[in-house]
């Protein structure tokens, strides 16, 4: 017998607000493009780095969490039946007394948990809820190096709305759609933060992710041929059963539609797929070409993208958003594409793709140290214009950075109290200015050597501000004190 559990959350507030948890601004907070005559920027040749970073041994010692997820999609009823198996190893040197699963669909009351059991089939009945987190006490603490397995059987009732977990306008978006385990810190315990709401808007992203391995199987109750699936990995398909593997990723996100168009490209062995909603196929081709440029540039500057697929998906929301191997872009960017590089499509394609390095490869605590991915992603926009559209660099800088008067210490958390606009001005835009100032201080060669080394050192790990600064200091003899005092409230060793 399965026990029905009622999930109750005091989060009705969440449902009353627009859902803006995204990583790039809405088009509405862009300024009106300047009418002053354009200045022509001097093209900058970015150097090819000569760094020879030392790769770490096997990431996470091969102990990363394994997720095996079987989903049956009843698309037209907005319903999924899912079994998710999570195999977790205690990678720390301290015992773990309770397991925590983040169950994001619970925020929308969109999940019904049918049963939770351990790997040996014993039903777990003593779990409790802490907001949208499931807490499972362990009778015997999980000792360092020990492994534990849980199985969640659940149903999803997809909320009809826009966003990363949603159904609307012929598109089903599955992000954060299964129970997942946050990182565990030996001192602080589970790294599971709360959402930050200011003026009814979500400020920043609040989830920290460990690199994990995903094995996902998908089936449809409807006619398979009706659907296209935008995914972060290339599928294997047999008799209507679609199978994906994605290793060392923080998330596994899918977008399914019965109206997608797709454009394909290839860069250096990586396939690029650009999916668009109705009427936007021609802009989807532009996006695919921009993705070729961005991937080529970042492969050169940051180190090689290691996946065989990069997917870009137009999705029903007014933001852009990054996941592993898959990014989302808002239809407003496509609708308003002016046919020139003076476009959100250029800026945000460059931005979101750079998150494959600064979010996916190099993880960070997005709630407490968001500059570690967003400053780099915003700075990448600049590098993209420098390389490919230098005559528009000043236009970009003026409209996306300087006219907003960025300010503030960039090492704020999402909880510092400012609203979304203020937060982005500090973390994204001033963060980008920090990296540019650092680059000018160090010179291009040393700066890009540092960035490549940083990516290699923290690949599949969770980086910290202190870790970045320590590495930075090992890459330069320049006195960094004035620069760090200008941009950081923290002091570093
Ligand atoms: Zn971002």
Q: Report how far apart, in Å, the C-alpha atoms of 393 and of each of 24, 342, 386, 439 are.
A: 19, 10, 6, 17
**Residue 217: C-alpha distances to residues 16, 72, 228, 254, 313 (Å):** 34, 8, 15, 12, 20
Helices of type H across 105-179: none
Tell me how far the alpha carbon of residue 156 lies from the centroid of ligand 1, in angstroms: 28
Q: Classify residue 397 by its DSSP letter.
A: I
For residue 193, what are its two tokens?
């933060």
> How many C-beta atoms surround the C-beta of residue 123 within 10 A?
12
Ligand 1 midpoint to CA 330 (Å): 13
68 vs 170: CA distance, rounded Å: 27
Measured in Å, residue 101 CA sits from the centre of ligand 1 at 25
Separation of CA 222 and ligand 1 centre (Å): 35
358 C-alpha to center of ligand 1: Å?
Answer: 9
Spatial neighbors of 171 by CB under 8 A, at least 6 apart, are: 255, 256, 257, 259, 260, 277, 315, 316
DSSP tally for the chain: helices H, then strands E: 11, 25
240 CA → ligand 1 middle, Å: 35
CA of 116 to the centre of ligand 1 (A): 34
Question: Among candidates 474, 451, 460, 479, which has minimal Cα distance to 49?
Answer: 451
Distance 232 CA to ligand 1 centre (A): 18
Question: What distance in angstroms lies between residue 351's CA and the mean position of ligand 1's atoms?
Answer: 6
Centroid of ligand 1 to alpha carbon of 390 (angstroms)? 22
d(CA 346, CA 30): 14
Distance 5 CA to ligand 1 centre (A): 37
- Give the span between the Cα atoms of 317 and 322, in whole angstroms: 13
Token pair 């159904």 in the structure block, residue: 167
Report the alpha-carbon distance of residue 177 to residue 256 in Å, rounded.
Answer: 13
What is the chain's pLDDT, residue by residue, as a tens digit (493 residues)?
433 333 333 333 343 333 444 566 544 444 333 333 333 444 445 554 444 544 444 678 889 999 999 999 999 999 999 999 999 999 999 999 999 999 999 999 999 999 999 999 999 999 999 999 999 999 999 999 999 999 999 999 999 999 999 999 999 999 999 999 999 999 999 999 999 999 988 999 999 999 999 999 999 999 999 999 999 999 999 999 999 999 999 999 999 999 999 999 999 999 999 999 999 999 999 999 999 999 999 999 999 999 999 999 999 999 999 999 999 999 999 999 999 999 999 999 999 999 999 999 999 999 999 999 999 999 999 999 999 999 999 999 999 999 999 999 999 999 999 999 999 999 999 999 999 999 999 999 999 999 999 999 999 999 999 999 999 999 999 999 999 999 999 999 8
Beta bridge partners of 275: 262, 313
Distance 321 CA to ligand 1 centre (A): 7
CA of 374 to the centre of ligand 1 (A): 5
As a whole number of angstroms, the distance between CA 382 and CA 385 comes to 5
* Helix extents (H) in 92-177: none
List Cα–Cα distances, 361 to 163, 225, 331, 382, 454, in angstroms: 24, 34, 27, 21, 11
Give the distance (Å) from ligand 1 centre to CA of residue 352.
6
Residue 170, sorted as left (phi over 0), alpha (psi -120 to 50) or beta, turns out to be: left
What are the start-end ranges of the E strands in 351-485?
Answer: 363-364, 462-463
CA 229 to ligand 1 centroid distance, Å:
24
Tell whether pTM > 0.85. Answer: yes
């Amino acid at each position: 017998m399965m026990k029905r559990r009622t999930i109750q959350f005091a989060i009705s507030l969440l449902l009353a607000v627009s859902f803006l948890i995204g990583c790039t601004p809405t088009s509405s907070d862009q300024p009106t493009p300047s009418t002053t005559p354009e200045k022509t920027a001097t093209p900058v040749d970015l150097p090819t780095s000569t760094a020879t970073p030392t790769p770490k041994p096997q990431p996470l010692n091969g102990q990363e969490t394994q997720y095996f997820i079987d989903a049956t999609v009843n698309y037209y009823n907005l319903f999924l039946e899912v079994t998710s198996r999570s195999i977790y190893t205690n990678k720390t040197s301290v015992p773990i007394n309770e397991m925590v699963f983040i169950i994001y669909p619970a925020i929308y009351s969109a999940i019904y948990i049918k049963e939770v059991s351990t790997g040996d089939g014993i039903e777990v009945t003593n779990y409790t809820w802490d907001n949208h987190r499931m807490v499972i006490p362990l009778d015997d603490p999980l000792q360092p190096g020990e492994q534990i397995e849980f199985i969640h059987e659940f149903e999803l009732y997809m909320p009809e709305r826009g966003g990363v977990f949603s159904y609307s306008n012929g598109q089903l978006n599955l992000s954060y759609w299964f129970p997942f385990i946050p990182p565990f810190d030996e001192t602080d315990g589970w790294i599971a933060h709360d959402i930050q709401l200011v003026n009814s808007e979500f400020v920043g992203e609040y989830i920290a992710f460990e690199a994990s391995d995903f094995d996902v199987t998908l089936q449809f109750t409807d006619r398979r041929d009706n659907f296209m699936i935008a995914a972060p990995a290339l599928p294997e398909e047999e008799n209507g059963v679609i199978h994906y593997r994605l290793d060392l990723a923080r998330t596994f996100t899918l977008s399914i539609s019965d109206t997608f168009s797709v454009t394909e490209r290839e860069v250096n062995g990586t396939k690029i797929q650009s999916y668009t909603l109705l009427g936007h196929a021609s802009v989807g081709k532009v996006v695919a070409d921009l993705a070729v440029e961005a991937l080529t540039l970042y492969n050169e500057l940051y180190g090689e993208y290691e996946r065989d697929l990069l997917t870009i998906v137009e999705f029903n929301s007014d933001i852009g958003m990054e996941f592993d191997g898959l990014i989302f872009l808002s239809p407003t960017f496509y609708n308003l594409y002016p046919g020139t590089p003076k476009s959100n499509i250029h800026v945000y394609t460059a931005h979101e793709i750079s998150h494959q390095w600064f979010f996916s490869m190099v993880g960070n605590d997005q709630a407490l140290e968001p500059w570690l991915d967003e400053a780099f992603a915003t700075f990448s926009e600049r590098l993209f214009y420098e390389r490919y559209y230098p005559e528009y660099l000043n236009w970009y800088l003026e409209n996306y950075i300087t006219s907003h008067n960025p300010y503030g210490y960039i090492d704020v958390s999402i909880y510092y109290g400012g609203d979304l606009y203020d937060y982005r001005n500090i973390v994204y835009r001033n963060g980008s200015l920090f990296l540019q100032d650092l680059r000018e201080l160090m010179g291009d060669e040393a700066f890009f050597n540092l960035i490549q080394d940083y990516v290699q050192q923290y690949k599949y790990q969770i980086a910290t501000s202190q870790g970045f600064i320590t590495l930075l200091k090992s890459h330069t003899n320049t006195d960094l004190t004035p620069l760090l005092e200008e941009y950081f409230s923290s002091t570093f060793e």
